Structure 1
């Protein structure tokens, strides 16, 4: 499954606002108030130390508000490696970014994020997942006539006898929006797998930045639902009502609080491809 990245945080907000269905003619969009938005993707690129990492915190605004999300400053952000209790302090940059320069990534290791903000404590736990190298990229033409478009297949080996999940991220020079694709090895375990990318605007000499991440099963389930619901945008008044979608960040003081975003740790392999 894949989708173009169209303000996925906004999709999350819409899901939180519209989690019930009623028969109405004139609908007033409810304003559920601001939400804490946690953008905490710890990405360890192959061949690098992975020491410098950034977590972004903000408060959401109303869906139709012209103002962007408001950066959060003054929070305490710590990630702990669970096996030995080693802590990594993310320093406040006073713009919503929290940065550490001494992170120690370890494959299959569990880490816990803790955020203290406005007297509340938020936490999430995830495992850093591995990914294999990219073997090859295949370019083909799909469709006929006016519907013909360029498609890329990114191939990589899937480790056998292990449940693996992947996220593909594609950023082309002809489109400023990211395209995301999630993949499970449920039916292809131990074989060469591939993730697809196509775009009707791709032409010769266009470039595509490609990133393949190893992700956990829980994040795969989360991002797959989010991709499906973002693709259903614009389905008209009778489209299926989005299901409630929650990330893994929890307010220990108020577990019922809705927190947007996800704490994820991934090994990632990156490359660049030029359309020919």
Structure 2
């Protein structure tokens, strides 16, 4: 009887070892690949007090999920931006690295512009309006407490024009982080008053310098960014994260309406400042 129990225990041990070893097997995940998409990074940014004549548009192709290269530059395309009200055309020259640059762009507040990309026999287009930006009044620093977490919060104040529906983008670039943080607001409840856009970050430390840009943006771009920010920060929404939805930009293939084009064409004036965390 003792030998039988000993054999049973040994058998159970061998089974357990087999199960644990099986947990180390490599699992190959078959991720569906719908093919490469054209990615359009076309942000015309006009800083207050400058000519805004030098602008760059970036084109890339998306790659598969497990590809070591996150994207592939698109070269050989023809890129132009046309001002709708007078038909003037600005050519963005191919730099042979995925970027296309113009040095003679003429920005005009409230003017509409059409982006046209000729690539691989297709015509990609998008139209947007160049929106004015407010002037930054000041930046204030506060402490935001949430449970055991403490974050430094920056608020950027500016005057909102009266009787005008406005949408704003705040871009916060700390010197100790590789990427900026984005925030968007609208003046639905603050029309004609001093408004502010804010950002809180647990990486804000004493001595860190934060570059701050405030843009005027269109309602459509506001809606696009609002969804993008919600989805990228869904891990901060507790047990009820934001349900991901397909994020559609404004660039379309005139030859194939069903082609999914990633990215956005937008134009905006911006005011800029910086703030050092204390």
1:266 aligns with 2:233: no
Tell me the equivalent position of 1:71.
Answer: 73
Q: How many residues align?
A: 251
Shift of residue 28 of structure 1?
Answer: 3.6
1:247 aligns with 2:249: yes
1:192 to 191, 194, 209: 194
Deviations, residues 142-184 of structure 1 (Å, cap 9, x unaligned): 2178522211100001111111001111011222221100111
Matches within 5 A, 1:1-276: 28-143=30-145, 146-232=148-234, 241-276=243-278
Shift of residue 29 of structure 1?
Answer: 2.2
Shift of residue 245 of structure 1?
Answer: 1.7
Task: Select the structure with the greater relative contact order (CA < 8 A; seq sep ≥ 6).
Answer: 1
Tell me the equivalent position of 2:7.
Answer: none
Runs of 4+ in 1 over 4 A off after TM superposition: 233-241
Q: Secondary structure at the match of 1:225?
A: helix
Tell me the equivalent position of 1:10.
Answer: none
2:230 and 2:242 in contact (8 A); partners too: no
Larger gyration radius, structure 1 or structure 2: 2
Distance 1:189 1:237 in 2: 34
Q: CA RMSD in A?
A: 2.0
Q: 1:238 to 1:154 in 2, by over 3 A?
A: closer
* Structure 2: stretches of 5+ with no match in the other structure: 1-27
Shift of residue 239 of structure 1?
Answer: 5.6
2:231 and 2:243 in contact (8 A); partners too: no
Q: Secondary structure at the match of 1:261?
A: strand
Distance 1:245 1:219 in 2: 11
